Amino acid sequence: MGGSDMSGHRVIIIGAGPAGTRAAQTLVRAGLRPIVIDEGRRSGGQIYRRQPDNFTRPYSALYGTEAERARDVHATFDALIPHIDYRADTLVWNVADGHVWASCEGQTQAIPYDALIVCSGATDRLAPVPGWQAAGCYSLGGAQIALKAQGVAVGHRVLFLGTGPLLYLVASQYAKAGADVAAVLDTSALGLRLRAAGKLAAQPDLLWQGLRLTLDLKRRGIPVLTGIRPVEIHGHPHSGVAGITVARGGRTWRFDGDAVAMGWHLRPETQVADLARVPFAFDAATRQWLPVVDDDGRAGNAVYLAGDGARILGARCAEVTGELAAMAALADLGHVADADRRRALLAQKGDYVRFASGLAQAFPWPADMVAQVGDDTIVCRCESVTAATLRASVGAAHAQEANRAKAFSRVGMGRCQGRYCGNAAAEIIAAARAAPIESAGRLRGQAPVKPIPVALRRTDV
């Protein structure tokens, strides 16, 4: 059994990426034996995802400039394993009444906690583009994982579409790995980046990395277009993606390719926090509803959030907020707090917050493009719901916010539960009502966090 300190406190950490690793390290140092539950087969999270056992690519090939950080996070976690109750390959599908419901290999248990530290990470923020339902359209994160974990590309000739650092990072990783990168198509104008340079300078080496990635892509002769609008992803129901047309000003470009990797920066994975009844508030800078936490990550009711699952502040900051959240949990459980360490971590976090606000300014979510997406464009891919159907739920059926629109139109009702259409649906609903985006509300999270089999059985009673 695990999860408790000498006074019997049971602490559960969800997620074994950089935030979860540092949280676990902090708890173990304080004499606790936390339970660490992770969906991954191996620790590292998405950003420092490890390759399968029999793969032998070096850290430098897998993680580039972040190789040393990846190595350190992995080594830290590996050293912790004897001191924690580590449950890999395990899905947390619900949280209720002070218990985490975790499932593994068809069995589930309700595990009680005195403190719950949620390090649930992020997924891509996606925008609907005409034709994006074609086979061969991937999220940037998905395209990166295919390469990082399995050493495969999502296509022979890959088109990169969206905005944000990940757009350039993944395109460059594909190019380095020998994949044919057809084009990098950024919806953000270059001028925005220059205006955000002051804030981005809060992390000078990350700013420099970003510039190098762009230069590297251009040096390879890959077309990099900024400030574009996607017109259509061309494709066929059977053969999938064939290419893309984009426009800027009065001009259009067509690029051929058999796969699209797309994403508009990231969004926090907040389902677990939602099920744990953490309150949410609207964040104007990112036009999203985010869980409410204090500086240290406290979300109330013995729940703590850290890493990108709370705010998109990046992998480096996840290590900081992971430690902060664990320190907050320890303090709340009666352990003596290290005020100097806390101050130092909060100062580091402040720099990352400034950098993140620069990224939001440099690589904005294309709210207008999404709000004006054509009627026949599919908004919800899980349920194949078009913008026209969603707009009709607002018009004819008088839905005023996302959950009502979901009930009428099915947007967000499928297996992703609105992860990939929720942001866009809110924009479309708000625009259809000529109302502010926050009035469209947010899709309430419902269990299970990810699909669970009807064959799942409880084994703890």
- Quick check: 265 and 345 in contact, CB under 8 A? no
When asked if residue 404 is in the footprint of another protein (CB under 8 A), the reply is yes
Max CA distance (Å), the chain: 69
Q: Of 172 and 389, which CB lies nearer to another protein in the complex structure? A: 389
Least separation in angstroms between residue 187's CB and another protein is 31
Q: Is 367 in the site for another protein (CB under 8 A)?
A: no
Q: Name, in order, each residue with C-beta under 8 angstroms of 305's C-beta and a sequence gap of 6 or more.
A: 117, 118, 119, 273, 278, 291, 293, 297, 299, 325
**Torsion on CA atoms 40, 42, 48, 50, rounded to nearest 10:** -120
Q: Write down the least CB distance from residue 458 to another protein, Å.
A: 4
Q: What distance in Å separates the CA atoms of residue 266 and residue 199, rounded to the nearest whole number?
A: 19
Stretch that binds another protein, among 46-54, 172-180, 311-319, 411-419 (CB under 8 A): 411-419
Binding region for another protein (CB under 8 A) out of 49-57, 111-119, 304-312, 452-460? 452-460
Contacts of 413 by beta carbon, 8 Å cutoff, 6+ apart: 380, 382, 383, 406
Binding mask 99-138 for another protein (x = CB under 8 A): x-x------x-x----------------------------
Q: Is 456 in the site for another protein (CB under 8 A)?
A: yes
Q: Does 454 bind another protein (CB under 8 A)?
A: yes
Distance CA 357, CA 334 (A): 35
Residue 116 tokens read as: 């719950």
Query: Length of the chain in residues, anyone?
Result: 461
Q: Is 447 in the site for another protein (CB under 8 A)?
A: yes
Pairwise CA distance, residues 422 & 445, whole Å: 11
Contact residue for another protein among 2, 133, 408, 433 (CB under 8 A)? 408
Residue whose tokens read 């002769």: 221
Q: 203 CB contacts (<8 Å, ≥6 apart)?
A: 316, 351, 352, 355
Quick check: 96 binds another protein (CB under 8 A)?
yes
Binding string, residues 48-87; x marks residues near another protein by CB under 8 A: ----------------------------------------
Among 417, 421, 427, 431, binds another protein (CB under 8 A): 417
Of 261 and 440, the one with the shorter C-beta distance to another protein is 440
Using rule CB under 8 A, residue 397 touches another protein? yes
Query: What pairing do the DSSP bridges indicate for beta strands 91-96 and 85-87?
Result: unpaired
Of 50, 354, 414, 439, the one binding another protein by CB under 8 A: 414
Token pair, residue 163, equals 């905005």
Strand runs (DSSP E) across 40-114, as ranges?
85-87, 91-96, 99-104, 107-112
Q: Which stretch binds another protein (CB under 8 A): 25-33, 266-274, 339-347, 445-453?
A: 445-453
Could you tell me which stretch among 13-21, 96-104, 230-238, 263-271 binds another protein (CB under 8 A)?
A: 96-104
Please identify, using beta-carbon distances, which residue of 349 and 419 lies nearer to another protein.
419
| The one segment of 315-323, 346-354, 406-414, 421-429 that binds another protein by CB under 8 A | 406-414
Burial zone of 394 (CB within 10 Å; 0-12 exposed, 13-18 middle, 19+ buried): buried
Q: Give the residues lining the site for another protein (CB under 8 A).
A: 93-94, 96-97, 99, 101, 108, 110, 396-397, 404, 407-408, 413-415, 417, 446-448, 451-458, 461
